[in-house]
Amino acid sequence: MYRRIGVSAYSGGRADERPVVIFIDGRAVEVEVVEKWVSEDFNTRRRRRHFRLLDTSGFEYLVYQDEETSEWFLRV
């Protein structure tokens, strides 16, 4: 299950290139990217950019961005 979250992202060669801060329940969490990948739905061709993130205490987060809507989601 996923829920929508806010993200502050680094924008280098593309907009929202990688998350640097995620916002969960009004709390800002600084993160670093450990792994990233792209998935595409075979039927709808909808693409998602996935990230495995770590915060400064070592807690892991799995998030993705829907490329069509630019919305971010956290796996809960």
| Among 53, 43, 45, CA closest to 73 | 53
pLDDT of residue 15: 79
> How many CB atoms are located within 10 Å of the residue 19 CB?
24
pLDDT in tens, 45-58: 999 999 999 999 99
Q: Could you tell me the sign of the dihedral formed by the alpha carbons of 38, 41, 46, 51, in that order? A: negative
pTM over 0.75? The answer is yes
End-to-end C-alpha distance for the chain, whole angstroms: 6
